[in-house]
Chain A
Amino acid sequence: MNAMTNDPVLTVRGLKVAFETNDGLVEAVRGIDLDVHRGETVAIVGESGSGKSQSMMAAMGLLASNGRASGQALYRGQDLVGMRERDLNRIRGDKITMIFQEPMTSLDPLYRIGRQLAEPMIHHRGLSRREAREKGIALLERVGIPDPQRRIDSYPHELSGGQRQRVMIAMALANDPDLLIADEPTTALDVTVQAQILTLLADLQRERGMAIVFITHDLGIVRRFASRVYVMRRGEVVESGATREVFANPSHPYTRMLIDAEPAGAKEPPPAGAPLALTGENVRVSFDIGGGFLKGPSVALRAVDDVTVRVREGETIGIVGESGSGKSTLGRALLRLLPSEGRVVFMGRDISMADKAAMRPLRKELQLVFQDPFGSLSPRMTVGQIVTEGLLVHEPGISGRERDRRAVEALREVDLDPAMRNRYPHEFSGGQRQRIAIARAVILKPRVVVLDEPTSALDRSVQKQIVELLRDIQSRYGLAYLFISHDLAVVRAMSDHVVVMKTGRVVEEGPTAAIFDRPASEYTKSLMHAAFSQEDFHVEAMRVAQGG
């Protein structure tokens, strides 16, 4: 498996990448050395901004227009840095290929996937359209797309995220590359799909003997997937070596910090007999997805189907599920932000029938924190304005000075420097933005907060801090949380009670420890396996190959 020969495919020496920005030259990569040998899997690990992606982009000549690369990136002795575009094109897309994080945006929505798949083969191998198509079908079959004869004529939007990533892999494999650079290829996917894709990659590598450079922030994947690892921080490689050794004795404190960054600990249980804060009984939400005037009977999609949730003061209910399971829809329905059927009771008061105006005074008590810390803050408002907007609605009487004081207080509460309240959100990092979003919710002193994937867009070490902050605020004010996430490790650290959802229905629910230690349903088991398995993907791939 770890067929380490002394046959280097990619040798990087003293690679530097700098970007010209309004603030002057920003060095993203500050001179790194890296070796990739034939047939091995090398992981580059680091948090966002560590320069891990930019180093590979520089080697591929794909830097943004304001980027400058220097140093060497040798592919079989040829230096790729500063190579002419024409020569570079003979190598990339042919000998070195890349797959990216966003399978949504890396396929052109206007062309059928067959055509996009054929393009590199026609270009680099001189195949005819018919030959390329046949090879394309074979490749799609190989990457596990069902019914490839028909699928090759579909458009990207007709495929699921996992299938799109499989198509990307098929494209990358089309010309039998020596080196596949995978830039966070599974970050946007659900855990079970992620496991399938990684197993597929491991299997393909074994079969074809190509080298893989795997760029990721997820140490769990590195441990199970890569034979060697480079840990990057602020543009420098701080540690490198065989994966097992690095994980067993990390020598650099940063590596140790990354390894320890798994959200740990558990939540204190709420006091016994705490009153119910919010109850949703038999909640149903459906969306019209077709039909209507002159198009036949209307078709409804049951996004949430007969779900009952109860949350007490000081309690956290974790709602777990993959994308499309209806967990976010449920959260919004419980806050009455979406029309729904069923009974919703807040503090003993039935709010199922309350309209927008009737809900307005209650909004103070029912808050929501979103997943995307970049999209949930208006770019044209200062942090102070964002945080205090709720006060304008719910306490219109207070003066500007008082509002400012409350903003300072709220920002302190989430460990942000209050002096930054006159700045705009784009100047903050993801973790800081999420703190701002939390400050906006807690300034109103709510009773129930729906947290919709509040940590999913963040690096592990930041996740850990946010989880601690949320637990801290909860214990201070006795808040009730509905914690929606697909990330089981975070859910375990946050919740008292877990609800597992699939296609709008509750599959399983129970106390956190029970669900995690003894999952009852097959679906929960597969989620747990994908998230917590320690098994090497190469071993798994081998098992799958032999089994199939």
Chain B
Amino acid sequence: MQMRIDPAASSDDLAREVADAGAARSLWQDAFIRLRRNKAAVASAIVLAFFAFVAVFGPALAPNPYDEVFPQYVRVPASLEAYPRADSIVPEFESVLARARVDVGEITLDGGTISAPIVTDRGIDPRFVRFVERSDLFTNARIEEVSPDETRAVMVADVKRTYFFFGTDANGRDLFARTMIGVRISLAIGLLASLTALVIGVTYGAVAGFLGGRIDGVMMRFVDILYSLPFIFFVILLVVFFGGNFVLMFLAVGAIEWLDMARIVRGQTISLKRQEFVQAAEALGVKPGGIVRRHIVPNTLGPVVVYLTLLVPKVILLESFLSFLGLGVQEPLTSLGVLISEGAANMQGATWMLIFPAITLIVILFALNFLGDGLRDALDPRDR
């Protein structure tokens, strides 16, 4: 490895010699190796990967669509068993047949099939099946054994088994599917708003810090002015003005959150600007744009990535807060914040409506914070 400069080997830092023997490794790879040793961070990364998968594919794989209303299943508790319960099938069958104004004989429930003889002097009408089909409990209703005079028949239907792992909400919608769609919306807003903040903040901060002097002064005073606006008020104003648009939502949040990012990046840039490698680039004749792009921004990324992982939960919480106020995403779409808000309203009768979205949010926030902590430790050069 040392080639012709062998005497130089004597002066090599021991650790470096060992590193030399190994494969090339960037600072990021180095940080990744440290991160991998942090168990909490690894577990968090796995949890987040799981939730990312849930956010993307979950709603498609869920047993019920997130926006379907089940009138028969309003506020049913969470259960791993399928609905309907055995004791509610027969009365329900009876009541739907009653709506068809037919006389019902003895109802027999046999496994997944329910049947009852029906009698009517108006004549058996094939449209009777619609009364049964309309119910959430039955499917594939059919009329069999119609008597020659068309006054007697047997109504047969399959019992529709529906799963509500997290129960249903006050409108009879599947909370499991809604939680998954909530994860999707919350994570998307968290990521998109944070990325908006990242792009604006890094660009603004790096430019202000690098140019310095009066331009820096003006740019940072503008940031100070934005800081002094009550920012919740600002977001509320935006949302009220433009309506609860999903895209606008993350733009608004990102447009507020970039202020911190700009300050962090500016501070980093000012100290980087005095580093010799920036001076070296100037001495090479590199234009300011090239210096910012190739030297300043890549070197600020360490703290920026850490701040980003802490910003995502902050944005999710902010979105939850806005949704809680009713300013967030609009029905039938939902987010974790909306679900928690509804759950809080129904806390007394339907605890599951609060517990499941709340636990999901807490787990995501924990994972993001642990990952952020782990990243900060892994990227901290002082520990190296």
B61 within 8 A of A: no
For window 33-60 of chain A, which residues contact chain B by CB distance below 8 Å?
Answer: 47-49, 51
Query: Is the pair B11, A459 in contact by a Cβ cutoff of 8 Å?
Result: yes
Residues of chain B within 8 A of A423, CB atoms compared: 24
List the one stretch of B100-108, B286-294, B356-364 in contact with chain A: B286-294
Contact with A along B275-294 (1 / 0, CB 8 A): 11101111111110010001
B148 within 8 A of A: no
Residues of chain B within 8 A of A385, CB atoms compared: 294
Query: Is the pair B280, A393 in contact by a Cβ cutoff of 8 Å?
Result: no
Cβ distance A451 to chain B, nearest Cβ, rounded Å: 12
Cβ distance A202 to chain B, nearest Cβ, rounded Å: 28
Residues of chain B within 8 A of A428, CB atoms compared: 16, 20
B26 within 8 A of A: yes
List the one stretch of B2-10, B67-75, B164-172, B245-253 in contact with chain A: B2-10
A360 within 8 A of B: yes
For window 236-253 of chain A, which residues contact chain B by CB distance below 8 Å?
Answer: none
Residues of chain B within 8 A of A28, CB atoms compared: 14
A323 within 8 A of B: no
Residues of chain A within 8 A of B287, CB atoms compared: 360, 393
Query: Is the pair B282, A337 in contact by a Cβ cutoff of 8 Å?
Result: yes
Residues of chain B within 8 A of A49, CB atoms compared: 11-17
CB-CB nearest in chain A for B298: A380
A368 within 8 A of B: yes
CB-CB nearest in chain B for A426: B27
Cβ distance B221 to chain A, nearest Cβ, rounded Å: 16
Query: Is the pair A417, B1 in contact by a Cβ cutoff of 8 Å?
Result: yes
For window 275-333 of chain B, which residues contact chain A by CB distance below 8 Å?
Answer: 275-277, 279-287, 290, 294-295, 298-299, 301
Query: Is the pair A51, B14 in contact by a Cβ cutoff of 8 Å?
Result: yes
Residues of chain A within 8 A of B301, CB atoms compared: 380
Residues of chain B within 8 A of A382, CB atoms compared: 26
Other-chain residue from B5, B7, B16, B285 in contact with A427 (beta carbon distance below 8 A): B16
List the one stretch of A19-27, A173-181, A291-299, A492-500 in contact with chain B: A19-27
Query: Is the pair A389, B27 in contact by a Cβ cutoff of 8 Å?
Result: no
> Complex: how many Å from CA A424 to CA B279?
19
A124 within 8 A of B: no
CB-CB nearest in chain A for B28: A380
| Count of chain B residues with a beta carbon within 8 Å of a chain A beta carbon | 43
Residues of chain B within 8 A of A61, CB atoms compared: none
Q: Determine the main DSSP class of A at the interface with B.
A: mixed
Contact with B along A404-430 (1 / 0, CB 8 A): 000000000001110010111011111
> Complex: how many Å from CA A51 to CA B17?
14
For window 59-89 of chain A, which residues contact chain B by CB distance below 8 Å?
Answer: none
B25 within 8 A of A: yes
Query: Is the pair B18, A23 in contact by a Cβ cutoff of 8 Å?
Result: yes
Query: Is the pair A335, B283 in contact by a Cβ cutoff of 8 Å?
Result: yes
Residues of chain B within 8 A of A415, CB atoms compared: 3-5
A353 within 8 A of B: no
Other-chain residue from A361, A375, A432 in contact with B285 (beta carbon distance below 8 A): A361
B142 within 8 A of A: no
A47 and B10 contact, Cβ closer than 8 Å, known pairs A375-B276, A416-B3, A429-B16? yes
B34 within 8 A of A: yes
Query: Is the pair A377, B277 in contact by a Cβ cutoff of 8 Å?
Result: yes
Residues of chain B within 8 A of A417, CB atoms compared: 1, 3
> Complex: how many Å from CA A372 to CA B283?
15
B30 within 8 A of A: yes
> Complex: how many Å from CA A257 to CA B283?
36
Query: Is the pair A379, B27 in contact by a Cβ cutoff of 8 Å?
Result: yes
B33 within 8 A of A: yes
Residues of chain B within 8 A of A539, CB atoms compared: none
Cβ distance A100 to chain B, nearest Cβ, rounded Å: 17
B230 within 8 A of A: no
Residues of chain A within 8 A of B294, CB atoms compared: 378, 381, 385, 389
> Complex: how many Å from CA A393 to CA B4?
31
B349 within 8 A of A: no
Query: Is the pair A370, B280 in contact by a Cβ cutoff of 8 Å?
Result: yes
CB-CB nearest in chain B for A364: B285
Residues of chain B within 8 A of A505, CB atoms compared: none
Query: Is the pair B277, A376 in contact by a Cβ cutoff of 8 Å?
Result: yes
Residues of chain B within 8 A of A371, CB atoms compared: 276
Cβ distance B74 to chain A, nearest Cβ, rounded Å: 57
> Complex: how many Å from CA A21 to CA B280?
32
A372 and B276 contact, Cβ closer than 8 Å, known pairs A364-B285, A465-B7? yes
Other-chain residue from B7, B25, B281, B299 in contact with A389 (beta carbon distance below 8 A): B281
Other-chain residue from B1, B17, B286 in contact with A393 (beta carbon distance below 8 A): B286
Cβ distance A45 to chain B, nearest Cβ, rounded Å: 13
Query: Is the pair A431, B11 in contact by a Cβ cutoff of 8 Å?
Result: yes
Query: Is the pair B285, A390 in contact by a Cβ cutoff of 8 Å?
Result: yes
Residues of chain B within 8 A of A375, CB atoms compared: 275-277
Query: Is the pair A26, B25 in contact by a Cβ cutoff of 8 Å?
Result: no
Cβ distance A30 to chain B, nearest Cβ, rounded Å: 10
CB-CB nearest in chain B for A380: B298
A47 and B11 contact, Cβ closer than 8 Å, known pairs A415-B3, A424-B26? yes
B19 within 8 A of A: yes
B22 within 8 A of A: yes
Query: Is the pair A462, B27 in contact by a Cβ cutoff of 8 Å?
Result: no
Cβ distance A353 to chain B, nearest Cβ, rounded Å: 18
> Complex: how many Å from CA A335 to CA B25?
35
A337 and B19 contact, Cβ closer than 8 Å, known pairs A49-B14, A378-B299, A389-B294? no
Query: Is the pair A430, B11 in contact by a Cβ cutoff of 8 Å?
Result: yes
Query: Is the pair A431, B5 in contact by a Cβ cutoff of 8 Å?
Result: yes
Residues of chain A within 8 A of B275, CB atoms compared: 375
Residues of chain B within 8 A of A208, CB atoms compared: none
For window 21-57 of chain B, which residues contact chain A by CB distance below 8 Å?
Answer: 22, 24-27, 30, 33-34
Contact with B along A460-490 (1 / 0, CB 8 A): 0110010000000000000000000000000
- 18 intermolecular pairs with C-beta atoms under 8 Å apart: A19-B15, A22-B33, A23-B19, A337-B279, A363-B284, A367-B284, A368-B280, A370-B276, A371-B276, A379-B27, A380-B26, A380-B299, A393-B287, A423-B24, A424-B24, A429-B12, A431-B11, A458-B11
List the 8 shortest-distance A-B pairs measured between CB atoms, nearest first.
A363-B285, A376-B276, A380-B298, A49-B13, A368-B283, A423-B24, A375-B276, A429-B12
Residues of B near any A CB (own CB < 8 A): 1, 3-5, 7-8, 10-20, 22, 24-27, 30, 33-34, 275-277, 279-287, 290, 294-295, 298-299, 301
Q: A26-B18, A367-B284, A417-B1 are in contact. List 14 more A-B contacts (CB 8 A).
A: A22-B33, A47-B11, A359-B285, A368-B279, A378-B294, A379-B299, A385-B294, A415-B5, A416-B3, A422-B24, A430-B11, A435-B5, A437-B280, A465-B8
